[in-house]
Amino acid sequence: MFLKGIEIQGFKTFVDRVRLELGPGVTGIVGPNGSGKSNIVDAILWVLGEQSAKSLRGTRMDDVIFAGSARRRPVGMAEVTLYLDNSDASLPLDFQEVAITRRFFRSGEGEYYINKVPCRLKDIQELLLDTGSGRGGLAIVSQGRLEEILAARPEERRSVLEETAGIARYRLRKKEARQRLEAVEQDLTRLQDLIGELKDQLGPAAVEAARARRHQKLMALLNLVELILKSREMAESQNRLRRIRERWQALKSQEEELEAREEELAGRSRDIRERLARNQEARERSRVELQGLREQLVQVRGRLSLVDEKLAALARQRVEDREREGLLAREEEKLRAAAAELARQVETGREEMAALEQDLAAGRETREKLRAERDELAARLARLKEDLFQVAHERAGCHNELVRLEEKQAGMERVLEQKQRQLQELNNERERLEGLLRAGEEQLGEIEANLKALEGKKASLETELPLQEADLAAREKHLAGLKEQQRLLVARLKVLRQAQADYEGFGEGVRAILQARSRGEAACAGVLGVVVEKIEVPGELTRAIEVALGGAAQQVLVRTASEAERVIQFLKSRRHGRATILPLAWLEPRRWPNWAGWVLNEPGVVGVAAALVRSEAEIRPAVDYLLGQILVVADLRRALDLGERLRPPVRLVTLEGEVIQPRGPVTGGNTRQRAGFLQRRLEIQQGETELANLVARLNDARQQARKLASTLETGRQELRRVTEALIARRGELHNLLQRLSEYKDQLARLAEKTAVLGEELARSTTDSRELVTSRREREELLTRLEAREGELQGELTGCQEQLNACQQALAAVEQELAVNETRQQALAKAGEQLAARVEELARQKENWRRQQAELAARMTAAATATNELQENREKLAREEEWLAGAIQQAEEGLQRLDNDGSTCSQQQEELARELEELRARKGKIAAHRQQEELNLARLETTLEGSRAELEERFGPGWQEVLQKPRRHLEKEAPRLRRVLQEKLAALGEVNPGAPRVYEGLRRRFEELEQQRQDLEEGRAALEQVIAEMEKLMARQLRATLTAVQEHFAALFRELFEGGEASLELTGSDNILEAGLEIIARPPGKKPQHLALLSGGEKALTAVAFIFALLKVKPSAFCIFDEVDTALDEANVERFARLLRQFASRTQFIVISHRQGTMAAADVLYGVTMMEQGVSRLVSVRLEQLPA
């Protein structure tokens, strides 16, 4: 494997796409400082995965993108590609050439590619692992890298040896195994904590479970005792209920008599209240009118006062206006006198200014003439000087031009000969490239057609496969859901069938009878079954019929009374409890009463329960007996409406299971009872149907999933094949396009060079002929210029004398003008002051006229306002007199209304006292009656609650429980309840779920123990793997150290022409943790550490160490970046000799300024910066150069 080429675009100073074609041997890169040589090394380091901007000589990662120059704009992306020859299969890829690409965008996004296929940085690092070309190997050795190796601590220096030993892969695997081991240790720690907590919980949980079971037994006995006591209380409550109803009826009669008398008194009271209300409204209106009149009177009197004040103010204003009128007349006389004086002063100033302006005009005219004459002479003098200088300059230039033309003619003849030779070479190269380009374009068409077909097929597969994968995942998820539904449904059906087979929920006696019948015992041979077994109920009526039957659902059906007697005797003899027997021959059917037939057509009525149930004809009497007088209704609201119009013995049952007894209790709500026999039978039927459908769906889903999986696998295989073919064809296309692009670029450059060279040749021929003509013309021009120079010198002297005389006359005229201009400025200033005084006087006269007009207008307005105010005052006086009379009349009417209201109020008080006494008596009776109603309701609620509580705690058959002979319990019930309560109190609070919690904790403890054992086994396995890897790494590292030490000593002697050098392990006996120390003894010196050597000795020692590593494990390629800087010429020669020796095994790329190193290169690349900030490449194969 070796590096075939490097392609760079947009990286640092390489803005344009450039490619370095590399081959085996030594390649040199040279160029001046700052031209961008080291940017090539940075590019290689960057594409190999360097993540530190500082290592790339930057501060941020986007510093690697070309940032722009004076002539170039910044770019948005940097891209570098390394092309590796993989013909020896060193890399685990089935390609002859491997291209590794890295891109970075200014937005911060980065991309990695292997053969143009997107990948991760980790994929590139793993690809180059143990090849010596990774980031940690010797692929790039700079002067800084040498210094790092020399200055590093011994432990850090060992890492270089590890890379050479090829144990980096093992170290990575060891690190991953160590991380997994740490994760296992953490899991074990957590498990041990959990197990410890569970151990602490198991003991108390076992105690709590035992207490809970003891509590359940005591509670069962206590419930039985309380059932006995509760039945006694219910009997006593029935007697109290009858007595309370009699007392309530008597109180109801008394209350009705009092209500009639109260209605009579209330009517009279309403009439008086209406009269009082009308009186109150009239009084309110009178008060409002009176208040309004009083407010108007106050307003009128206020307005009169205001008018009087305004009249007085107008009188005072008339006096002030007359005084102001006299003052304005006196001020007018003063203004007229001042205006006459100012007019006289202005006229005098104008005459004096006119005379002065005539003198100034004459002086200025003279000055302008003299200035024009002076400027004309100065301009003529300047022109003469310029002409003289120009002639002298042209004479000198003409002489120089003659000399230059002679030299240029000789050089032109040499250039013509050289360009004619270059033009012939360019034409030959153009013909060769055109032939290559035609062949490449034919091949390009074939590859593009093949590539287009492959891309279309891949796009189709990439579109179809995700859809198929998603479809398969959905199918598998659906299949798993169906399996879980099937498992749950089968388990549910198993539980329900078992419950039906065990007659779960039936009484002890009923179960004993049914089990005896199934065993074929004679005593129970006549048993037909229980009621609930022998009827069929529609699914929507199951709840209603179960509630309607109640405890009767478990009653046992027989044909005759004798069979019933045998069954009862069987229960007594076996002590199997009690049961209710229905002899069909004895039963008298209960029909729905005719008087209630109307209800069957009411909305919301489903029908009579007996008619809604199907059964055999033999069993029909039992169905009619039990359900004939029970009506099924849709909902509770409708049932309550119907219950108000019905009477016993009928009952109503809703579809939700509420029971309504007309004129009796209403039972409903929610209980946590288990499903009855009918409900379980309905669930089994529905479950079996659902299971059959589910099995069919499950089989269909399995078949579809298998078919999809097969199709998907076929598609994946086809996609892999197409992708591999596509990558190969893209590689071929990329290489071909690069070659064609290079051919075109070379042809364009050749055409440009040919055109330029042709133009230059034509120009050179023309220039050569023109040179002879120019030379003769320059000789004639030189003679004419020398004669003109003498003429100009004489004219320059005469012009200077005339200019001096003109300047003296001009100075005298300007002095006289300055005196007159000063006097003119003084007169102008005085005139401005007089003009300002005239304007001020005009403003004062205008102000006087305005004040006079305002005064006249104000006096006229005051007279008009005085007349209007006098008329308004007379009008307000008349209005005041009328309002006083109206107020007196309103006060008299209000007094009459107050007297009538007092009479009505007195009558109302008398009636209120009588009503209050009557209502007090009625309230006492009503309170007594309500108390009796409350007692009645409370007692009925208590009785119904007691029944509901007993039915909920002991089931519908709680009365049958009381029928069992328990006389010892009935006598001792109060004492026994107290004893049981004391035992329960001593037992304290218990957790009913404690047994379940204990069982869960026990199972969890066993699971965690098993997990702990599994983790410990895994930990032991990981520790064994780590130990084996450490042994392998140590063995391999030790063998590498021995080989490197041997080669290092030999290379050191070769480079230093003598001396000794060795490698020593320090710090630890474990070679994987020990440091690596370099000991060197140059010729004539004692053995010493690197720190004590000179700079050149250190560099040469490091070179020997690097080449020793390369000899043990050759790197595919190695880049030396100015490592020879510190070497003298003799050592550079030795370094170059080593390069040539190792070039057969390792490809070297050397960046250097030293001639000895450059001489060892097979190919030289020059890096230049012809344009500021932009690097370019020039390559030369040294073997092609003439010796």
Between 710 and 364, name the one with better pLDDT. 710
Q: What value does the mean pLDDT take over residues 914-919?
A: 77
Q: What value does the mean pLDDT take over residues 1112-1133?
A: 83
pLDDT at residue 344 greater than cutoff 70? yes
**Residue 7 pLDDT level (bands cut at 50, 70, 90):** very high
pLDDT at residue 213 greater than cutoff 60? yes
Contact 823, 356 (CB under 8 A): yes
pLDDT at residue 274 greater than cutoff 50? yes
CA distance 592 to 594: 7
**Residue 499 pLDDT level (bands cut at 50, 70, 90):** low
DSSP H or E run through 124: helix 121-127
Cα angle for residues 1026, 1031, 1037 (degrees, 5° grid): 120
Annotated ligand binding at 526? The verdict is no
**Residue 100 pLDDT level (bands cut at 50, 70, 90):** very high
Distance of CA 1091 to the CA centre of its chain: 55
CA distance 444 to 743: 14
**Residue 891 pLDDT level (bands cut at 50, 70, 90):** confident
Q: What value does the mean pLDDT take over residues 88-111?
A: 87
Q: What value does the mean pLDDT take over residues 848-870?
A: 74
CA distance 718 to 458: 9
| pLDDT for the residue numbered 959 | 62
CA distance 55 to 830: 87
pLDDT at residue 358 greater than cutoff 60? yes
Q: What value does the mean pLDDT take over residues 500-525?
A: 75
Least confident window among 82-86, 386-390, 555-559: 386-390
Between 959 and 873, name the one with better pLDDT. 873
CA distance 856 to 738: 108
CA distance 354 to 508: 152
Annotated ligand binding at 34? The verdict is yes
pLDDT at residue 812 greater than cutoff 80? no
Q: What percent of the chain has pLDDT over 70?
A: 85
| pLDDT for the residue numbered 672 | 46
pLDDT at residue 964 greater than cutoff 60? no
pLDDT at residue 218 greater than cutoff 70? yes
Of the ranges 167-176, 191-200, 609-618, 879-888, the best mean pLDDT one: 609-618
For 132-178, write each residue's pLDDT tens digit.
666 556 678 876 677 777 777 777 777 777 777 777 667 777 777 77
**Residue 99 pLDDT level (bands cut at 50, 70, 90):** very high
> What is the chain's Cα-based Rg?
63
Cα angle for residues 200, 202, 204 (degrees, 5° grid): 80
Q: Which segments within 522-604 are labelled E, that is strand?
A: 529-530, 535-536, 556-558, 581-583
Can you tell me whether residue 336 is helix, strand or coil?
Answer: helix
DSSP H or E run through 1080: strand 1075-1081
Q: What value does the mean pLDDT take over residues 391-415?
A: 66
In the sheet with 666-667, reading across from the earlier edge strand, the strands are 605-608, 630-633, 651-654, 659-660, 666-667
Token reading at 282: 């009239």
| DSSP 8-state code for residue 14 | B
Token reading at 263: 């209605």
| pLDDT for the residue numbered 83 | 93
CA distance 291 to 289: 5
Annotated ligand binding at 699? The verdict is no
Least confident window among 471-475, 528-532, 627-631, 1148-1152: 471-475
Contact 1005, 199 (CB under 8 A): yes
CA distance 320 to 326: 11
**Residue 429 pLDDT level (bands cut at 50, 70, 90):** confident
Contact 401, 782 (CB under 8 A): no
Contact 1143, 1115 (CB under 8 A): no
Q: What value does the mean pLDDT take over residues 1153-1165?
A: 84
Q: What value does the mean pLDDT take over residues 1052-1061?
A: 85
Is the omega angle on the peptide bond into residue 649 within 30 degrees of 0, that is, cis? Answer: yes
Q: How many CA atoms lie within 13 A of 751 on its CB side?
A: 7
CA distance 1149 to 40: 10
| pLDDT for the residue numbered 1185 | 40
Give the position of tokens 């210029």.
785
pLDDT at residue 395 greater than cutoff 70? no
Q: Name all contacts of 75-78 with Cβ < 8 Å and 24+ positions apart.
A: 75/10, 75/15, 76/10, 76/105, 76/106, 76/107, 77/10, 77/103, 77/104, 77/105, 77/106, 78/9, 78/10, 78/11, 78/12, 78/103, 78/104
pLDDT at residue 37 greater than cutoff 50? yes
| pLDDT for the residue numbered 901 | 73
Q: What value does the mean pLDDT take over residues 468-477?
A: 73
Between 1109 and 967, name the one with better pLDDT. 1109
Characterize the bridge pairing of strands 1163-1171 and 1174-1181: antiparallel
Q: What value does the mean pLDDT take over residues 646-656?
A: 85
CA distance 1145 to 1115: 8
Annotated ligand binding at 32? The verdict is yes
| pLDDT for the residue numbered 632 | 92
Query: Would you list the DSSP string of 488-531?
Result: HHHHHHHHHHHHHHTTTTS-HHHHHHHHHHHHT-GGGTT--EEG
| pLDDT for the residue numbered 81 | 95
What are the Cα distances from residue 628, in Å, to 610, 622, 642, 651?
Answer: 5, 9, 17, 10
**Residue 41 pLDDT level (bands cut at 50, 70, 90):** confident
pLDDT at residue 674 greater than cutoff 50? no
Cα angle for residues 1043, 1044, 1046 (degrees, 5° grid): 65
Q: How many CA atoms lie within 13 A of 711 on its CB side?
A: 16
Say what angle helices 542-549 and 677-954 make with each other, to 10 degrees. 40
Least confident window among 259-263, 1081-1085, 1165-1169: 259-263
Least confident window among 55-69, 232-246, 636-650, 962-976: 962-976
* Residues in Cβ contact with 1118 at an 8 Å cutoff, skipping those fewer than 6 apart: 138, 139, 140, 141, 1110, 1146, 1147, 1148, 1149
Annotated ligand binding at 1175? The verdict is no
Q: Which domains does the chain have, with CATH numbers?
A: 506-673 (1.20.1060.20)
| pLDDT for the residue numbered 385 | 66
Task: Tell me which amino acid residue 227 is.
Answer: L
* Residues in Cβ contact with 836 at an 8 Å cutoff, skipping those fewer than 6 apart: none
CA distance 1080 to 698: 80
Cα angle for residues 1077, 1082, 1088 (degrees, 5° grid): 40
pLDDT at residue 1179 greater than cutoff 70? no
Give the position of tokens 């895994």.
1018
Nearest to 558 by CA among 626, 611, 507, 621: 621
What value does the mean pLDDT of the chain take?
Answer: 77
CA distance 392 to 398: 10
Cα angle for residues 439, 445, 449 (degrees, 5° grid): 155
| pLDDT for the residue numbered 1186 | 39
Q: What percent of the chain has pLDDT over 90?
A: 2
**Residue 406 pLDDT level (bands cut at 50, 70, 90):** low
| pLDDT for the residue numbered 361 | 76
Annotated ligand binding at 893? The verdict is no
For 989-1025, write each residue's pLDDT tens digit.
777 777 877 787 778 778 778 877 877 877 787 788 7
For 725-749, write each residue's pLDDT tens digit.
776 776 677 677 777 777 777 777 7
Least confident window among 421-430, 546-555, 957-966: 957-966
Between 1064 and 760, name the one with better pLDDT. 1064
Annotated ligand binding at 758? The verdict is no
Give the largest Cα separation in the chain, rounded: 177
Q: Identify how many contiguous H helices and E strands the chain contains and give both numbers.
A: 18, 25
Taking the whole predicted model, whether its pTM rises above 0.85 is answered as: no
Of the ranges 410-414, 670-674, 1118-1122, the best mean pLDDT one: 1118-1122
Annotated ligand binding at 1094? The verdict is no
